[in-house]
């Protein structure tokens, strides 16, 4: 089998983070190369380098014998490297066939040759066992079918290399079967495929080779036949604990947050308790429904049934303002969109949530707010020349600190941190951990959603693990370790059950 693609010493640095560290990887014609790793292991970054979204700091990509010069999304696509991302890039108002041929329509003169496109689309869909009418509008399709169309679209311009990023995350088992069916067809066609997934059972079902990455480094590559499930999990888990976790267990205070049988769009029967002086870790894979739970109980999203209690009193549905007054606060996952007003100053961003508490009369005393903000800027050592600096200028870590400061000022009782250290360099991380501890000292309860296992293990006192919208396990930090948590997160604790489905 001939090599179609090869990564040579790919390295990519982000401010404070070494995302990829000299990765060497190759892909043969007609093979499925599964890439595994924790969130943040660098899988997606590597693929983004391949697609040309990122330029590597070092190393080169060799495609069909020659290196990809100044790669860009368009170039890589022309070359025949197609990505299938989780978030779909389809135009909802367009028909399936228009989406599939968007940008390279077949034309008769200046008219687009709908008949031909129809036939080809039809053929394509049939070959993938999708029984949809090519003239259907994409917006009328189920999410699963939209995903299939996305794949079909990639195939339409006969791709040489396909990258599946979590393709099955929103597919039903039947559809997954169809997908695998198709993947096998593609193998016969000699298409090389990278396959990123969190469903380990899939590795054995579809994969030829498997590569495990960790902290942006290549751990091992083996034939699937030669590797065992537990080896994989250990491979993924085997991170050395750096001691950047200042966390010391305090005595448990009273129950501050109680989530009872919360049911919603993306999660069901969620029960979570959080106690004062404790960090309650909420672990699981991306898309397991952790953030959704957080958003729902904070009141920015709606939920179907269930209750959220703070200190025993009920938090009204979809009423964030009330939740804030009751002392609940959420530090959202993506701060740029949800946490900050980028066009406003550090001061305005930090003070915003506390305004009502600080100035009950409604009139702002600028000196006071300045003083307050300054104290927290110093406390959190937020790196900004002045509090009038626009947050847009600040680095990711500093921005996160601003968001934290925002809630510290409100003197909230319950803090929900969603991925508190995402995209933050190590130094800043410790700051934020210390900060959490400080909060605990003040008798706050913290719920920490994190995909970083070490963080969860290092910081939490109790750990809930979510998998596909459900809480699948609850541990005391003492009895938890990376492997067990991963097993639950991957849904491997009921291994056989998952496999037969």
Please give the residues from 191 up to 250 whose contact with another protein meets the rule CB under 8 A. none
The dihedral sign for the CA sequence 477, 482, 488, 493: negative
Q: If binding is defined by CB under 8 A, does position 167 make contact with another protein?
A: no
Residues 23-42 binding another protein (CB under 8 A) are 39-40
According to CB under 8 A, which one of 1, 58, 123, 364 is a site residue for another protein?
364
Query: Taking contact as CB under 8 A, which single stretch among the options 122-130, 254-262, 307-315, 384-392 is the one that binds another protein?
Result: 384-392
According to CB under 8 A, which one of 321, 368, 383, 426 is a site residue for another protein?
321
Q: Which is nearer to another protein, 14 or 28 (CB)?
A: 14
Q: Which of 61, 55, 54 has its CA nearest to residue 23?
A: 61
Query: Taking contact as CB under 8 A, which single stretch among the options 191-199, 226-234, 250-258, 362-370 is the one that binds another protein?
Result: 362-370
Q: Give the contacts of 206 (CB within 8 A, at least 6 positions apart).
A: 32, 34, 180, 183, 184, 195
Q: Which is nearer to another protein, 1 or 364 (CB)?
A: 364
Please state whether 296 falls in left (phi above 0), alpha (psi between -120 and 50) or beta. Answer: alpha
Q: Which is nearer to another protein, 209 or 218 (CB)?
A: 218
According to CB under 8 A, which one of 207, 281, 306, 423 is a site residue for another protein?
423
Q: If binding is defined by CB under 8 A, does position 469 make contact with another protein?
A: yes
Q: Give the contacts of 69 (CB within 8 A, at least 6 positions apart).
A: none
Count of positions on this chain that bind another protein (CB under 8 A): 98
Q: Which of 196, 202, 235, 151 has its CA nearest to residue 42?
A: 196
Q: If binding is defined by CB under 8 A, does position 146 make contact with another protein?
A: no
Q: If binding is defined by CB under 8 A, does position 491 make contact with another protein?
A: no
According to CB under 8 A, which one of 5, 171, 237, 380 is a site residue for another protein?
171
Q: Which of 394, 443, 444 has its CA nearest to residue 416?
A: 444
Q: 3-class SS at 354?
A: helix
491 CB-side CA count, 13 A: 19
Q: If binding is defined by CB under 8 A, does position 281 make contact with another protein?
A: no
Q: Give the contacts of 64 (CB within 8 A, at least 6 positions apart).
A: 4, 5, 160
The dihedral sign for the CA sequence 356, 357, 361, 366: negative
Q: If binding is defined by CB under 8 A, does position 174 make contact with another protein?
A: yes
| Minimum distance, C-beta of residue 14 to another protein, in the bound complex (Å) | 5
436 close to 459: Cβ distance less than 8 angstroms: yes
According to CB under 8 A, which one of 283, 451, 482, 487 is a site residue for another protein?
451
Residues 56-115 binding another protein (CB under 8 A) are 73-74, 77, 89, 91-94, 98, 102-105, 107, 110-112, 114
Residues 301-320 binding another protein (CB under 8 A) are 320
CA distance 10 to 8: 6
| Minimum distance, C-beta of residue 476 to another protein, in the bound complex (Å) | 26
Q: Which is nearer to another protein, 189 or 357 (CB)?
A: 357
Residues 17-44: b if buried by 16+ CB within 10 A, e if exposed: bebbbebebbbbbbbbbbbbbbbbbbbb
Q: If binding is defined by CB under 8 A, does position 181 make contact with another protein?
A: no
């Amino acid at each position: 089998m001939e090599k179609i693609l090869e990564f040579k010493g790919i390295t990519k640095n982000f401010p404070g983070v070494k995302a990829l560290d000299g990765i060497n990887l190759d892909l043969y014609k007609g093979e499925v190369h599964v890439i595994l790793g924790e969130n943040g292991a660098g899988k997606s970054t590597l693929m983004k380098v391949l697609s040309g979204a990122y330029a590597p700091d070092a190393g080169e990509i060799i495609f069909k014998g020659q290196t990809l010069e100044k790669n860009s999304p368009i170039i890589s696509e022309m070359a025949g490297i197609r990505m299938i991302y989780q978030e779909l890039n389809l135009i909802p108002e367009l028909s399936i066939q228009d989406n599939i041929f968007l940008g390279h329509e077949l034309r008769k003169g200046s008219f687009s040759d709908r008949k031909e496109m129809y036939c080809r689309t039809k053929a394509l869909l049939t070959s993938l066992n999708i029984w949809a009418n090519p003239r259907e509008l994409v917006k009328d399709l189920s999410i699963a079918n939209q995903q299939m169309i996305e794949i079909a679209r990639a195939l339409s311009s006969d791709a040489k290399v396909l990258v599946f990023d979590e393709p099955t995350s929103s597919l039903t088992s039947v559809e997954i079967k169809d997908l695998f069916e198709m993947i096998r067809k593609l193998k016969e066609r000699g298409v090389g495929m990278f396959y990123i997934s969190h469903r380990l059972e899939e590795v054995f079902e579809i994969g030829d080779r498997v590569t495990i990455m960790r902290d942006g480094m290549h751990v091992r590559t083996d034939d699937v036949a030669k590797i065992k499930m537990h080896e994989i999990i250990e491979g993924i888990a085997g991170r050395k604990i750096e001691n950047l976790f200042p966390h010391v267990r305090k005595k448990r205070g009273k129950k501050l947050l109680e989530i009872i049988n919360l049911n919603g769009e993306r999660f069901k029967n969620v029960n979570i308790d959080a106690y004062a002086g404790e960090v309650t870790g909420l672990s699981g894979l991306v898309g397991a429904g952790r953030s959704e739970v957080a958003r729902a109980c904070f009141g920015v999203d709606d939920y179907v049934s269930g209750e959220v209690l703070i200190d025993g009193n009920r938090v009204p549905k979809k009423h964030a303002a009330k939740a804030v007054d009751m002392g609940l606060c959420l530090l959202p996952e993506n701060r740029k969109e949800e946490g900050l007003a980028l066009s406003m100053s550090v001061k305005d961003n930090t003070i915003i949530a506390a305004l009502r508490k600080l100035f009950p009369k409604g009139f702002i005393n600028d000196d006071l707010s300045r003083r307050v903000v300054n104290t927290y800027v110093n406390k959190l050592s937020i790196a900004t020349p002045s509090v009038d600096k626009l947050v847009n200028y600040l680095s990711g870590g500093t921005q996160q600190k601003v968001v934290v400061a925002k809630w510290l000022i409100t003197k909230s009782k319950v803090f929900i941190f969603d991925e508190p250290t995402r995209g933050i360099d190590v130094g800043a991380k410790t700051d934020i951990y210390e900060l959490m501890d400080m909060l605990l000292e003040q008798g706050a309860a913290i719920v920490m959603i994190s995909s970083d296992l070490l963080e969860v293990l290092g910081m939490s006192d109790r750990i809930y693990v979510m998998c596909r919208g459900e809480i699948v396990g609850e541990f005391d930090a003492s009895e938890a370790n990376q492997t067990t948590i991963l097993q639950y997160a991957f849904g491997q604790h009921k291994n056989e059950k998952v496999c037969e489905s």
